[in-house]
Amino acid sequence: MPISVLTSKGQMTIPKEVRKALNLQPSEKVIIVVEGNQAIIQPLKGNLLDIGGSVKITNREKPIDFKKVREEVKKRVAKKVATRG
């Protein structure tokens, strides 16, 4: 079983046999998916759509309505400016 050591900067080298098994070349990117107390390294090849489903969504809230957020910020800034004068 290959072993890698974590540096003080949080970096590690992927062992040669793992790079070979995953066909990883220098400068290629990998994704690390955390599942419980383990991490899975997957090569990032192709485009962003190829990794669909690899990230689990834990927050099931509605998406943020940025238009409403902008309007609220505008109101608060206007109120703040109005009270300065």
What digits encode the pLDDT tens for the residues 8-24? 999 999 999 999 999 99
The alpha helices in the chain, defined as continuous H runs, are: 16-21, 66-84
pLDDT tens per residue, range 3-59: 999 999 999 999 999 999 999 999 898 989 899 999 999 888 766 666 566 666 666
Q: How far apart are CA 27 and CA 5, in angstroms?
A: 20
Amino acid identity of 74?
A: K
The pTM assigned to this predicted structure is: 0.51
Query: Which pLDDT value is given to residue 51?
Result: 59
